[in-house]
Amino acid sequence: MSPAQPTNPPEASAPAKTLEIPASVVVRELAELLHTTPIEVIKELMKQGVMASINQSVSYDAAAIVASQMGFEPHLQGEEAVTVERREVQEDTAKLQHRPPVVTVMGHVDHGKTSILDAIRKTNVTGREAGGITQHIGAYQVEIDGQKITFVDTPGHEAFTAMRARGATVTDIAILVVAADDGVMPQTLEAIDHAKAAGVPIIVAINKVDLPDANPDRVKQQLAERELLIEEWGGDVIAIPVSAKTGDGLKDLLEHILLVAEVSELKADPDRPAEGTIIESELDPSRGPMATTIVRTGTLRVGDSVVAGDTWGRVKAMFGERGQRLKAVGPSSPAKIMGLSDVPRAGDTLIVVADERAAREVMDVRERERGAAAQRATLEAFSSDVAAGRAKELNVVLKADVQGSLEALQQALEGLASDRARVRVIHIGTGKISESDVMLARASSGVIIGFNVRSEPGAVRIADAEGVDIRHYDIIYRLTEDIERALKGIMEPITEEVIDGHAEVRAVFKVRGGRVAGCMVTDGLVRRNSQVRVKRGDEVVRASRVSSLRRFQEDVREVQTGLECGIGIEGFSDVKEGDVIEAFHTETRG
């Protein structure tokens, strides 16, 4: 036998070469990695039932099988993406330069948040909407004494906390607007708690001091009652009397913002690839997906390849607040960017990557990390963390029907500290549990406790989507008993099964190594790697997981209701027409 033949024993016993393959790879590139022709790769893919052209991408799973067939030992290439994703950990301190502060304005409705922003910008909202030259991009910069300040033009603590819930830390300083005639109101209290939970410095702007019934001293007293003690009363919180109407005090406010920024020593490296936060996004009819980002560090340039949340693209153009085209944007500066493939969410992190391939790797890493972090922040989960020594503080949003109950409950909860953990009440209030409560709990990895109150429908919907634990009680001792057991680490975790969707098998196809079920998703959705049960009538014939999921020969992550797909089931090939595939997952129940 010729030594060149593949059946030669020494050749067969040679160790397989290790090959790193990205999560998604183009057929042409896969051929180069395997040192073969694209035709050979396409042939191997066809044996798996995957029809792909030379310029199409295939999943790691499909590529790994091809590599194995050709004598390689495949490994998922993930380390590079993780390094790209987390490069902010490594900053060159020698290149750090001072950057402008990023400021968010909060406060009660009608206390003048928007008026103050407009007065600072010397622009009227109505004038802008009537066709003025200023464009709303979600943020703008002002300059005072040669120094810049960036204002996030989406006032309100709800937007602030929604971004923080997604891991965004865009704000350096929070401006709390309180009307001198109204004083501290319910939304003011919410804003205080949201800013405190974020750990950002607070500057109080006491607005409407020009009104006859203005009473700044009463405002200061009310703030002190909420543990927000101003400087002239011996505290560390700056309070500036202002009037958005006359402009009085605004320069003083800006100067104090710069003073707080100087003390905070805000710095960034403008020479590195950019990282930023999406603060607004929209689908423009003529320009496509548009997103406003504030650059946190580095410099963003036209032509950069970027990843923003679940989407990516190449920056085709950037625009400033007056519609002017920008070529580059440095730290703390805002810009509206064009060129993303889809609309990202507010709070998504934007990073510059080398190319499309790196972008896809980063998105795949993010998807896996989201899956790993999908566990709900429940009392049971917290108790497990306490038992394992991983948690010491339980953040609680507390809502009750009346003020008297609220104060008694807060005192009771804060008195339940064990030698292992304690309760930190981050917000209290009367009335129904709101969407704002849910987002604060989500951003703080906390739970919500409602006593004799219900949850608003919108709050329930967001809590389910964001994995926030809402617990309702009507008897105090049951509430305190649950919290006490959680603090001691003795609350047993409860798992429950959640049905994701069903797919009806309408055809069965033979492929290399087994069979694929041609299905129609009849309700919910089916995800790649979902746990599944194959039902034949009332009988469960197999419990396994989805090993492959395709639409029109393309690997996909999930398939929604009403769509056809091909489903491969791990370790099971006896699937038949008429079977129902039930997809499900388990999660910790709060």
For 231-282, the DSSP string reads GGGTSSBEEEE--TTT-TTHHHHHHHHHHHHHHHT-EE-TTSBPEEEEEEEE
Domain of 333: which CATH number?
2.40.30.10
pLDDT (tens digit per residue) in 233-259: 888 899 999 998 888 899 999 999 999
Ranges 169-173, 276-280, 293-297: which has the least confidence: 169-173
Any idea which of 90-99, 175-184, 535-544 has the lowest mean pLDDT?
Answer: 90-99
Using an 8 Å Cβ cutoff, are 375 and 94 in contact?
no
How many domains does the chain divide into? 5
First to last CA, the chain: 68
- Give the pLDDT confidence score for residue 494 in this predicted structure: 64
433 and 415 co-located in one domain: yes
**Any domain includes 368:** no
What is the per-residue pLDDT across 30-76, written as a single tens digit (0 to 9) for each? 888 888 888 888 888 777 667 777 767 777 778 888 888 888 888 87
pLDDT in tens, 131-183: 344 456 678 888 888 899 999 876 566 566 666 665 557 889 999 999 999 88
Is 369 inside a domain boundary? no
| Pairing verdict, β 447-451 and 393-400 | parallel
The pLDDT score that the predictor gives to residue 2 is 41
- Give the number of other Cβ atoms within 10 Å of residue 231's Cβ: 10
Residue 420 lies in a domain: yes
Q: What is the pLDDT of residue 318?
A: 95
Kindly state the average pLDDT of the residues 563-587: 91
Mark whether 438 and 415 lie in a shared domain: yes
Confidence of residue 385 (pLDDT cuts 50, 70, 90): confident
117 lies in the same domain as 260: yes
Residues 441 and 468 in one domain: yes
Domain end, chosen from 267, 283, 308, is at 267
Write down the pLDDT at residue 124.
Answer: 35
Residue 486, burial from CB neighbour count under 10 angstroms (0-12, 13-18, 19+): buried
Residue 516: pLDDT band with limits 50, 70, 90 = very high
The string of pLDDT tens digits covering residues 444-469 is 889 999 999 999 988 888 888 888 88
Q: Which of 443, 471, 493 is the last residue of a domain?
A: 493
DSSP 289-301: EEEEEEEEESBEE
Question: Is 400 domain-assigned?
Answer: yes
pLDDT at 390 over 70: yes
Does residue 206 lie in a domain region? yes
3-state helix, strand, coil in the chain (%, to 5): 30, 35, 35
Q: Are residues 154 and 255 in the same domain?
A: yes
Residue in the block written with tokens 């060129």: 339
Task: Give the residue, 555 or 507, on which the prediction is more confident.
Answer: 507
Split at pLDDT 50, 70, 90, the class of 334 is very high
Average model confidence (pLDDT) for the chain? 82
Query: 570 and 486, same structural domain?
Result: no
The band of 15, judged by pLDDT with boundaries at 50, 70 and 90, is: low
Q: Domain range spanning residue 501?
A: 496-588
> For residue 90, what pLDDT is reported?
54
Stated pTM of the model: 0.60
Shared domain check, 288 and 419: no
**pLDDT value for 130:** 35
Task: Answer yes or no: is 254 within a domain.
Answer: yes
Beta-carbon count within 10 A of 370 CB: 10
Percent above pLDDT 90 for the chain: 32
Q: Are residues 112 and 251 in the same domain?
A: yes
Which pLDDT score, from 0 to 100, does residue 190 have?
83
Residue 85 included in any domain: no
- Whether pLDDT at 216 is above 80: yes
Place of tokens 């009652």: 225
Same domain flag for 171 and 47: no
| Residue 328 domain flag | yes
Question: In this predicted structure, what is the pLDDT of residue 557?
Answer: 86
